[in-house]
Amino acid sequence: MNDTTGPGAVFQQGQLLLIDKPYEWTSFDAVNKIRSMIRYLLGVKKIKIGHAGTLDPLATGLLIVCTGKFTRQIEQYQGLDKTYTGTFTLGQTTPSFDLETPPDKTWQTAHIDRQLLEKTAGSFLGTHDQMPPMYSAKKVEGKRAYAFARRGETTRLRTTQIHISEFEITWVRMPEAGFRVVCSKGTYIRALARDFGHSLSSGATLTALRRTHIGSFCVEQALQIGELEHHLRQVAEGGADRGE
């Protein structure tokens, strides 16, 4: 099959794919799966493909994937604000600030009510410096920070300036609280959980996370991996004449 004229040509020319990343998949897992499907279902021997903003394995939701010439636009999409919804479990912490690692400490929560949660959330609005989690893909000495963390080693990370434009508590069923956050590029919601718990004079762990928006792109527009595979099979069989 000719890469430049066959059904895979549109993906080489450039496509923007909105994907609903599955739970426990890395963002690279999703990209690699899509690359494999395009190559083997459409007969494309070589294709550029990348994503515009990492989601942690334990998070689900919107992932922008660019193919072909559209990969030149990745940086543009990375700079857009992100919207997340999720759950904080109060009164406990973990080394990774989420469920990747087991709890290492418990804290009092008797003093926490919805009013305090909402007041504390409001205090995070605006621009401030955030320390990334040790369990993150930040590079230190040429290696990912999580590589040091998983070996039980410590290393120095630099703070990142972030901006939080919206932070609301959506429901409370102690010790859990739901939230919605609109934030800038580079914001770690796991680190927000850490800092939120500290500001409550307690602890907090991120126990659920979903990215719902990247700029004006919405997860409701996104395809599941299985839906994309079905679409690509239709393209390969002549059932569709473009990738969308």
Instruction: Provide the pairing of β-strand 217-218 with 204-214.
Output: antiparallel
Instruction: Provide the pairing of β-strand 82-90 with 204-214.
Output: antiparallel
The predicted-structure confidence for 163-174, as pLDDT tens digits, reads as follows: 999 999 999 999
Residue with tokens 């066959």: 6
Q: Which two tokens stand for residue 199?
A: 């500001």
Q: What is the pLDDT at residue 243?
A: 40
Euclidean distance between CA atoms 134 and 36, whole angstroms:
31
Single-letter residue type at 215: G
From the centroid of its chain, how far is CA 109? 28
The predicted-structure confidence for 88-127, as pLDDT tens digits, reads as follows: 999 999 999 999 999 999 999 999 999 999 999 999 999 9
Instruction: Provide the pairing of β-strand 139-140 with 60-67.
Output: unpaired
Q: Which two tokens stand for residue 13?
A: 């020319």
Q: Write down how long the chain is.
A: 244
**pLDDT band for position 149 (cuts 50, 70, 90):** low
Q: What is the pLDDT at residue 146?
A: 56
Catalytic choice (3, 20, 29, 56): 56
Q: Are 162 and 183 spatial neighbours (Cβ–Cβ below 8 Å)?
A: yes
Is 241 an annotated catalytic residue? no
Residue with tokens 């949660």: 117
Residue with tokens 């099959």: 1
Q: Which stretches of the chain are assigned E, i.e. beta strand? A: 15-21, 49-51, 60-67, 82-90, 92-93, 105-106, 126-130, 139-140, 143-144, 160-173, 176-183, 204-214, 217-218
Average pLDDT over residues 71-80: 95
- Other Cβ atoms closer than 10 A to 150: 15
Euclidean distance between CA atoms 219 and 211, whole angstroms:
7
Q: Are 188 and 101 spatial neighbours (Cβ–Cβ below 8 Å)?
A: no
**pLDDT band for position 144 (cuts 50, 70, 90):** low
Write down the mean pLDDT value for the chain.
89
Euclidean distance between CA atoms 75 and 52, whole angstroms:
7
The predicted-structure confidence for 50-59, as pLDDT tens digits, reads as follows: 999 999 999 9
Q: What is the pLDDT at residue 135?
A: 63
**pLDDT band for position 141 (cuts 50, 70, 90):** low
- Spell out the domains of the chain, with CATH numbers in brackets: 9-79+219-236 (3.30.2350.10), 82-214 (3.30.2350.10)
pTM for this entry: 0.89
